[in-house]
Structures are given as structure tokens and as C-alpha cells.
Amino acid sequence: MLKNLLFLLLILCSLFLQLTRAQQPSKADSVEVNLLLEQLNHLLERNLDSALLLSKQVQARTASLHHQEGLWETQIIQGKAFFLMGQKDTAYSILNQVLRESQQQQKRLIQIRASIQLASSFEKDYDFKNAITPLIQAERLLANNDDIDLKFDILNTLGTLHRKMKNYSNALAYFNQLDSNYFYQLTNKQRFMLSMNKGNVYATQRNYSEAEAFFNKAYNEIQTIDSPREHATITYNLGALYYRQKRYKQAEEYITKSLEANIKLGDQLQIERCYRVLGAINLDQDNYKQAEAYFLQALEIARKAQNSKSVLGNYKNLYLNYWHMGYQERSVDHMEKALQYFEKWAHLNDSIYQLETAEKILELEKQYETEKKNNQITLLEKENQLKEDQIYIQRTQRNYLIVFTILVVGILAVFIYFYYYYKKVNRLLQLQGQRILSQRNKISTQNEKLQKSIHTQNKLFSIIAHDLRSPLVSISNVSKLIGFYLADNRMDDLKQVTRMMDQKNDQVLELTDNLLSWAKSQTAGLKPFYESVSIREIIEECFDLYISIAESKEIHLSCPTEEDQQLWGDRNMVKTICRNLINNAIKFTPREGSIQVEFRQVENEVTVCVKDSGIGVPKDKQHILFSINRDKVTPGTEGEKSSGLGLTVCQEFVHAMGGTIWVESNLKQGSTFCFKLPSANSCENTSKQERKTQTLIPSIN
């Protein structure tokens, strides 16, 4: 049974796919439709009537081929043709229909093209409010990988729209965005339109030099394109610009070229404008007869086209022309004609104002009635839909109540069973996971401790192998020399070798003390024995220990002899810290240098500083001074050996007593090593340190 159902399903799917493929246009059909659309766009530039006739044939052909996108493209071109012919309502109806259908079928590119054409039509009709909305929708739908033509159409139309809205900065921003980002991707016609539109902005702002430059760029671009309509437009713009600059000869030349091109195109609106500008050029030059002829021709065309605003403009021009003629020739007839045209102008102006006012009132009334009816219809539809929904809900509730009850009981039983089963399993898994996590954390902690221990052990062995072995070998060699010098009775050399052996012995003892102290600090046995410690007494003991070495390098040691401060800490640890700091200072201070020990109490703490005039420490090495690092090991000013372990021991001891240690140094300007410990004079700090001794756990490095 199941196999039969699957077989039937496969048959239905194959039939559906075949039906879908049959409805989709083939590649050859798409090529044919694209060619027809190219011919239609080409004809739209030359003859609107022929373009409209061809569009109907292309529409029928695309419908027969089931080429829906080609049909929409044809309708968009139809809408543009109807608008150019003055049939605006038809144009808007077609474009809105294409936009609705493409939105329903989610055809993004068709939505963009229809929105652009709608916005362009509204913009040419000076309906800026309705033009902005489709443009914003088109810009939102635009993708980064879309064709450059779509990007150009949107940005160019936005710029033109803002120019007509007198927002010139935004208009130039859109045009400059095209110019800077996409100029080399544009076609010659698009470059022409961009230059012409930028020129229009500058011309409106009366920046005639910039306007002329961009108009000439557009004029040069149009010479390479077979587009009579655009050629007529740029020549008209250049002529109008020259007229504004009172360059009448050039203005008349370009307006005449535009007139000839528009006569071939049959564009009556542009022909009337050309005649009117030619009349204005001759009027400004006092060629009243020629101006009269042009104005009368323009008036005749405007009357035939029933363009009341153009008729109004020509009435005014004729009134001004006859008035100037009558004034110049002292002719009463011309003055009477001027008066007649002025009366016609005034009467028509009042009529147009009243007509526009009545149209606005009628439009508002229609809009109000339409919205009222639409709201009533919507309300009735919602009420009917609500009743239908209520009936449907009651019916479905009655039909599914029994089935729902059975399913709920069954699902509830299964749910209860699996709930307890999975609860038990999850509990076991959680317990097991907690055990694994606990063991993993223990292993990780032990591994970290082991790695640190191995790292510390390796460093210790490295120091022992390098720094301890070297002086022991030297002592062995010196002992052999002593026997040799005794046999040879070379007492002077024997004294020098003896001093050398003393130095090596001191070096071994110092290194051994530091190693033992540091090793002790790394174990749990480092617990300070707190007592009151005299810092001056500690310093004097250290000076007694190193006075001979300092004198041999002619280094002056000094500390306050009258003052004293009492520390709260372990006496041996404090002495070890001071001894290492003074020893380091002697090593790295050149001959005739000085070492000064200072100590002072600030609030409840005592700070001890060992300041030398030595070679100093570079800034990039100061952060490793208190760590075990072979990179920080530097010989003294006279080749004294250094293990680098003394400062590490100092830091361990200071931290064990609850203090801090730091260094302040500049290269070749000496160093100051300071450490800070609690004062023994403060009862508060004393009790605090006593509590610390009860809970102190040595750090593991």
C-alpha cells in the first residue's frame, strides 16, 4: 500500500514539473522579447505614436509566449509613452497595475523599474510628494550586485527631484555620488544625462560658468549617441543659458537647432517653448516684428494643445512686445493691441486661478468621499469576515473536540511515561558529568602545579649548573695556582691569587644563600617570624659586610645616622633583602660612584630605598627583574658575576611579609630599588600582621 502511494506521488510531481516547464518561456523566446523591447525603447525616442502602436504588438506577443517579465517591461514603456503624450491618468494606471502585480509575485527588479518610472512621471508632473515614496521603496529593494542602470536611474531621479524641490545641496550630492562612484561604468547616454542634470542645478543657482561647462560636456557626449530627443533637450538648455547671460547670438543659434530637432520629433510642447524663447531673444534686442512673429506662432501652438499656462505666457509676452513697439514708434494701434493682450492675460490668469482652486476643492471632495466609501467597504468586509470566521470556528470546534480529547489523553500518557524515564536518565547523566568535570578540574590543577614545579626546577638546575659551577671551577684552578706559587716562592702573586679566591668564595656563598632562600620560599615552610626590626641597624650590618668591596671600587656608601625606623617583619628576611639590594648596587655602580640608603615612614608603612649612581636598567627589561629569567642576567661594571636570583628572593620575602617592592630607573642615570613593609609603631598594623601570620599560605611560583 505504501509503495503504491509513493509511486502515485512521484507521478503527480513529474506532471507538475512538466506543466511548470511548459509555462516557462524558453531561451529563444527570451531573446526575441529582449530584441522587441530594444526596438520599442529606440522608437520611443523618435515617434511616440509609432512607439505606442508597437508596444501593443509587443504586449500581445509576450502574452502569447507566457513571458510575464517581458509583458511588464512593455507595460512600463507604454506608461512612459502615454505620459509623454499627455495622457497622465492612463500612464499612472498602467504603472500602478504593474507595481501591484510585481509585488504580489515578488518580482524585485520589476518593482524597482515600475517604481522608478512612477517617480519620474510624478517628478515631471511636479508632484514631488508622490514621487518620493516609490523612489524610497526602489532604493530599499536595490541590491549591491544589481545592474548599474538601476542604480543610475534611482540616484539620477532622486537628484532631479531634489533639484525641482530647490534642495540643491542634496541634488548635487546624488549627482556627485554617481560621478565619483560609477562614472566609468556609465554609458554615454547616462554620462550625458548626469552632466546635463548637474548643469541644470548650477543654472538654477545662477552659477552660469559651471552650468555652461557641464552643458558642453553633455553636448559633446550626445554627439556620439543617436538620440534626437536628448539632442533637442541639450541644445535648448544651452540656448536658454546663453539667453540668461544675454549672449543673444549663441542663444538664438542653439534654440534654432532645438526647434528644428523638435519639429522632426513632433513634440508640440517643446516647439512652443522654442518659439517663445526665440521671441524673448528678439524682444530683448528690440526686434519687435520678429519677436511678434515668434510669439504668435507659440500662441497658436499653445491654443491647439489647449495648454492654458503656455497661452497665458504668450499673452504676457505679446502684451510686453506691443507695448515696447507702441512706445518706440509712438503708435496708438500697438498700444491698443498691448492693452487687448493684457486684458486677455488678466482674464485668463483669473480663470486659471479659479479653475485650479475649483479643481483642488473637487479633488479634496473626491478624496474625502473615496476614503469614506473605502472605510465603509472595509468595515463591512471585516464584519462579514468576522462572521464567517466565527461560523468556521464553531464548526471546527465541534468536529475536532472528540479527536482532540483522545489525542490529549494518549499524548499525556506517553508524556508522563517518557517524562519519568528521561528524568531518571538525566539525573544519572548529570551525576556522571559532575564526576567527570570534578576529576578533570583536579587533573588540570595538578597539571598546572606540576608544570610550574618542573619549570621552577629547570630554572634552579640551570642556575646551579651555570652560575655555581663557574666559581667552583675557578676556586679549583686558584687552589692549583696557590700550590704552584708556594713551590716557586712567588709571594706577590700568591697574595693576588688569595684575594681572587676570597672573591670567588664570597660569590659562591652569596649564590648559595640566595639559592637556599629562594628554594625555601617555594615550599610551604616559608613562614616569617614577626618582630620589631631596626632598619638602621640592618643597614649598618650590611655596610660592614660590603665596605671592603665598595672601597675597592672607590664607591661611597651612605645612610641616615641619626634617624631610625622600626619595621614589623622577619629580621633575617629583611637583612637578606637589604644585603641583596646593596650588593646589586655595588656590582652595577662604576668606580667613584655613590650608593645612598634612605628610609621613611608614611602613615602606617615604612619605605626603604637603595639609590645608586650606576648604569641603570632599560625600560624594556624592568618588568623581568624580579623573575627568574636568564635574559635579565648582566655582568657588573667590572665583570662581576650575577645569577639574577637575588631580586627574585627579595620579591618572595617582601611578599611573604605582606609588602611591595619596585624599581625606578633610567639608562645611565642610576637605579632606585624600594620596598615597603608595615611599621612596628602602629598597633593596628601589628594586629593585622598577626592575623596574617595565622592564615598566610606561601605563594607557588
Q: In this structure, are 412 and 429 located in the same domain? A: yes
- Which residue type, as a one-letter code, is found at position 540? E
Q: In this structure, are 402 and 414 located in the same domain? A: yes
pLDDT tens figures, 240-289: 989 988 898 998 899 998 888 888 888 888 888 899 899 899 988 888 88
- Rounded mean pLDDT, 507-527: 63
Name the DSSP class of 595: E
pLDDT tens figures, 370-421: 566 556 656 766 777 777 778 878 888 888 888 888 888 888 888 788 888 8
pLDDT tens figures, 35-86: 888 777 777 767 778 887 888 888 788 888 888 888 888 888 888 888 888 7
Report pLDDT for 678.
Answer: 92
Q: In this structure, are 569 and 499 located in the same domain? A: no
- Given a cut of 80, whether residue 355 has pLDDT beyond it is no
- Rounded mean pLDDT, 578-598: 89
Q: In this structure, are 498 and 585 located in the same domain? A: no
- Given a cut of 60, whether residue 537 has pLDDT beyond it is yes
274-281 LR contacts (CB < 8 Å, sep 24+): 274/236, 275/301, 276/310, 276/313, 276/314, 276/317, 277/236, 277/239, 277/240, 277/243, 277/251, 278/252, 279/317, 279/321, 280/243, 280/317, 281/243, 281/248, 281/251, 281/252, 281/255
Domain that holds residue 551: 528-682
In whole angstroms, how far apart are CA 316 and each of 9, 255, 303, 341, 348? Answer: 79, 21, 14, 7, 11
Q: In this structure, are 466 and 605 located in the same domain? A: no
Looking at 525, 547, 573, the residue that finishes a domain is 525
- Given a cut of 60, whether residue 4 has pLDDT beyond it is no
The DSSP-derived string for 523-539 is STT-----EEEEHHHHH
Report pLDDT for 159.
Answer: 86
Give the SS3 label for residue 514. helix
Least confident of 178-192, 355-369, 406-420, 446-460: 355-369
pLDDT tens figures, 113-135: 888 888 888 877 777 778 878 87
Q: How many domains does the chain have?
A: 2
* 351 pLDDT tier (thresholds 50, 70, 90): confident
- Which residue type, as a one-letter code, is found at position 209? S
pLDDT tens figures, 540-554: 888 887 887 788 788
- Given a cut of 50, whether residue 694 has pLDDT beyond it is no
Helices (H), 266-331: 268-284, 288-305, 308-329
Q: In this structure, are 554 and 494 located in the same domain? A: no
Name the residue among 681, 688, 574 with its Cα closest to residue 696: 688
Q: In this structure, are 402 and 521 located in the same domain? A: yes
- Rounded mean pLDDT, 139-150: 80
Output 598 or 4, whichever has higher pLDDT: 598
Q: In this structure, are 520 and 456 located in the same domain? A: yes
Output 106 or 522, whichever has higher pLDDT: 106
CB-based contact 234:196 (threshold 8 Å): yes
* 519 pLDDT tier (thresholds 50, 70, 90): low
Looking at 504, 525, 546, the residue that finishes a domain is 525
Report pLDDT for 473.
Answer: 59
What phi and psi values does residue 662 have, to the nearest 5 degrees?
-155, 175
Rounded CA-CA distance 610/109 in Å is 80
Here the cell at position 692 is 596574617
Q: What percent of the chain shows pLDDT beyond 90?
A: 5
12-21, 150-159, 519-528, 668-677: range with highest mean pLDDT: 668-677
Enumerate residues 6+ apart whose C-beta is below 8 A from 122. 128, 130, 131, 134
| Verdict on whether the full-model pTM lies above 0.85 | no
Residue 608 lies in a domain: yes
In whole angstroms, how far apart are CA 251 and each of 111, 206, 281, 501? Answer: 42, 16, 8, 112
Q: In this structure, are 506 and 382 located in the same domain? A: yes
The CATH number that applies at residue 611 is 3.30.565.10
Report pLDDT for 55.
Answer: 81
Quote the distance between the C-alpha of residue 415 and its chain's center.
Answer: 50
Here the cell at position 600 is 621613611
Here the cell at position 584 is 646589586
Q: Which stretches of 638-686 are assigned E, i.e. beta strand?
A: 660-665, 671-678
Looking at 525, 544, 563, the residue that finishes a domain is 525
Q: What is the dihedral of CA 518, 543, 466, 661, to 10 degrees?
A: 40
Report pLDDT for 19.
Answer: 43
Output 581 or 11, whichever has higher pLDDT: 581
- Given a cut of 50, whether residue 304 has pLDDT beyond it is yes
Rounded CA-CA distance 643/256 in Å is 101
* 611 pLDDT tier (thresholds 50, 70, 90): very high
Q: In this structure, are 521 and 532 located in the same domain? A: no
Rounded CA-CA distance 169/282 in Å is 35
- Given a cut of 70, whether residue 30 has pLDDT beyond it is yes
Residue 179 lies in a domain: no
Mean of pLDDT over the chain: 79
Q: In this structure, are 428 and 558 located in the same domain? A: no
Report pLDDT for 456.
Answer: 61
pLDDT tens figures, 220-230: 888 888 888 88
Ramachandran quadrant class, 310 (left: phi over 0; alpha: psi -120 to 50; beta: rest):
alpha
* 18 pLDDT tier (thresholds 50, 70, 90): very low
Residue 662 lies in a domain: yes
- Rounded mean pLDDT, 197-207: 89
Residue 16 lies in a domain: no
The maximal CA–CA distance of the chain, rounded, in angstroms, is 154
Least confident of 16-20, 46-50, 337-341: 16-20
Rounded CA-CA distance 697/525 in Å is 9
Least confident of 63-67, 86-90, 286-290, 352-356: 352-356
Residue 587 lies in a domain: yes
Q: In this structure, are 456 and 536 located in the same domain? A: no
Residue 498 lies in a domain: yes
